Amino acid sequence: MPRKDVAFLGPPGTYSELVARKQFGVRNNFVPLPSIHDVCSFVARDAARVGIVPIENSSGGAIYEMVDILLANRPRVFIQEEISLNVRLALLGRKDERIKTLYSHFVPLDHCDAWLKKHLPRVDKESVPSTAMAAQRAWQQPHAAALGNRDLAKVWNLDVLQYPIATDEPNITVFLALGGRQRSRPHATKLTLAVQLLNEPGSLCTFLECFRDQDVNLSRLLSRPMRGCPQQYIFLVDIQGNPTDIRVKRAMTAARKASAKLRIVGAYPSGKLYNS
């Protein structure tokens, strides 16, 4: 098989790269890019390309840069699969060196707050754009450490001081595999819709009843302001089911009539879970 270009939210060593390599194997061309928008633009330019980006974290919530791209349809990408990662964090640094500063993305810092207060109560915590950058900072500076993927220790010649860091709740990040075209997925278990509702009282209730009446479950409903339209909103909606299911078909027919605009962002399999 020809090598595939697989873009991911970089730099190298991020959890996006970990998911990309687990999902697509090691015999492809992996391309780190600095932002979610850059990944989507890269994918949109060539239908043979794919991209891996996060959309939701169980601690930090939705990642609205990705949500807004899907709603605006710019760059034009489609969801091909939803993949979850059980994020198990490591404390990276140098053995026998006192930690004065700890770097990480804000989500791991928040998720590990109780552990940090107990084990590193006097350490200064600094938020950076990614766990990969945190490891780089820890490598560059004395008395510095990072929270992140334990594989980053090999990249930056650091020691794994603690793994996994015990937390009270699981830390699950949801990623999307994106493509530049809509694919027919006979084994799809989820649909994502971008929906603009009618600007009238009860329009959201009417829309939701389309799915309730057919016993179709909604698993995500996010609202975002419409650019240039004050006090109007567009919705990203996830529904569970296959588009060929008769109940889903009936619900979608009713939902289109209840909406000003409705666009399918993807019909795709979901439920795959990797461990970090």
Q: What is the pLDDT of residues 184-230, one digit of tens each?
A: 777 899 999 999 998 889 999 999 999 999 999 999 999 998 877 77
From the list 271, 237, 198, the residue with the least C-alpha distance to 67 is 237
Rounded CA-CA distance 50/43 in Å is 6
Q: Does the pLDDT of residue 158 top 70, yes or no?
A: yes
Rounded CA-CA distance 191/103 in Å is 37
Q: Does the pLDDT of residue 233 top 90, yes or no?
A: no
pLDDT for position 85: 97
**CATH number attached to the domain at 190-272:** 3.30.70.260
Q: Does the pLDDT of residue 1 top 70, yes or no?
A: no
pTM of model > 0.75: yes
Which carries the bigger pLDDT value, residue 219 or residue 182?
Answer: 219
Percentage of residues of the chain with pLDDT beyond 70: 99
> In the chain, which segments carry CATH 3.40.190.10?
5-86+171-180, 90-162
pLDDT for position 165: 94
CATH class of 90-162: alpha beta
> In the chain, which segments carry CATH 3.30.70.260?
190-272
Which of 3.40.630.10, 3.40.190.10, 1.10.3720.10, 3.40.50.20 is the CATH number of 5-86+171-180?
3.40.190.10
- In a 10 Å sphere around its CB, with 0-12 CB exposed, 13-18 middle and 19+ buried, how is residue 79 labelled? buried
Rounded CA-CA distance 206/197 in Å is 10
Mean pLDDT score of the chain: 93
Assign 142 a pLDDT band (cuts: 50, 70, 90).
very high
8-38 residue pLDDT tens: 998 888 999 999 999 998 889 999 999 999 9
CA distances from 99 to 109, 139, 158 (A): 15, 12, 13
Helix (H, G, I), strand (E, B) or coil at 70: helix
Q: What element of type H or E holds 210?
A: helix 203-212
99-126 residue pLDDT tens: 999 999 988 999 899 999 999 999 999 9
Rounded CA-CA distance 133/236 in Å is 31
